[in-house]
Structure 1
Amino acid sequence: MATQADHQKRALRAELRERRRNLTSTELENSASGLTANLIDLVTRTGATNIACYLSRATEPNTRPFLNWAGERGMRVLFPISREDGLLDWTVGETGAETEGLFGINEAVGELLGPIAINDVDLIIVPAAAVDRTGMRMGWGRGYFDKTLGSMDRCPPVFAVLFDNEILDTVPQEVHDRPVNGVVTPAQVLEF
């Protein structure tokens, strides 16, 4: 049975997807440099050397230049691998290759480390559709990151990556939703 929050989320996600689809290639390119600088600043400031981060899709803020930077510095990066049961496996993607995972999302190819591998990271960088001013994150609706974050004994700082106009006053919220410690956009790093 769909709740009112569920209906509100669907409508908001549709609006946010449309906004992202309407970004020009120039806007996407320009946002990548600011986002990369802000992710580097966050990692440098927190001293994180072991991070979890996702491979961005074409319509998402581009995490790939940051991931290249992290790799060049010998940082250990765990990439999520979607599973049928709603959990995430992780890999360091030692082959450097990518494949299309569940739901058509690109995923790193490498040895699967299992869901508990994320317990060893210093910083988690997650995708989001929107985050509100209290740090409540609204994802894209599959619940993978909420489930992962909710199952961790000791969760390191979690930052969502967004475009600047996706920080909202409020987002619809359900019991399983997990807040983040901050957001990284092309213009800023905002901590809650």
Structure 2
Amino acid sequence: MGRRDEKRTLRAQLIAERREIPTGTRQRYDAEILEHLTEYMREITPCKRLAAYEPFGTEPGRTLDPPLPERLGEFGTVLVPLTLEDRDLDWTAYDESRTPLGPDAIAAVDLVVVPALAVGRSGIRLGRGGGSYDRALARVLEGTPVVALLYDHELLDEVPGEEHDRPVTHLIAPGGARAVGA
């Protein structure tokens, strides 16, 4: 089985496992993730501009009200992605205007918060398979923290990686925040 097949199989397994998490449990997990994330962000100074995502489906943060990007707005301007036709990501401020700022806007943030289905101890992140975030993360300046939100059981010893995969530097789960990778 090749890396892509391994990733496809693991992705399907993790999506199925997430669907099995009861709503009340997911709400508790999301509240714990938000608490750990905000603690982590308070340690980063300055954090005046950050990129985040708008959770959908079973992604961590989906049950939060107000939504995750709005919650993170206390730290500064929050950019959220707009998916382009070629599956790359443009960025826009999480506000009423939703004016596209261009794919390179992510290079000017102090922190990036990304969705993940799993993260390996090396920092390799497993996403939904479109490669959108890997392309966007290639534009992030070296030294900028990249934080994946996930559930505790989704931290794995190893995630199958490919050459184009961009690692994350930290993960935040209900059990807490931790650095990963080199």
TM-score by length of 2: 0.90
Does 41-50 or 55-64 show the bigger shift?
55-64
Give 1:151 deviation, angstroms: 3.5
Listed one character per residue, the Cα deviations across residues 6-38 of structure 1 (whole Å, up to 9, x for unaligned) are 000000000000001111011111111101101
Distance in 2, matches of 1:55 and 1:66, equals: 7
Does 2:71 match 1:78?
no
Distance in 1, matches of 2:118 and 2:139, equals: 22
Distance in 1, matches of 2:140 and 2:177, equals: 24
Q: Which residue of 1 aligns with 2:54?
A: 55
Q: Which residue of 2 aligns with 1:89?
A: 90
Give 1:174 deviation, angstroms: 0.7
Q: Which residue of 2 aligns with 1:104?
A: none
**What runs of 5+ residues in structure 2 fail to find an aligned partner?**
none
Does 2:123 match 1:121?
no
Which residue identity is paired with 2:107?
N
Alignment of 1:1-192 (within 5 A): 4-47=2-45, 48-62=47-61, 64=64, 65-71=67-73, 73=74, 75-95=76-96, 110-154=98-142, 156-192=144-180
Q: Are 2:55 and 2:68, in contact at CA under 8 Å, matched by a contact in 1?
A: no
Q: Are 2:104 and 2:139, in contact at CA under 8 Å, matched by a contact in 1?
A: no
Percent identity, aligned pairs only, is: 36
Give 1:55 deviation, angstroms: 0.5
Give 1:136 deviation, angstroms: 1.2
Distance in 2, matches of 1:69 and 1:85, equals: 30
Give 1:152 deviation, angstroms: 3.9
Structure 2 SS opposite 1:125: strand
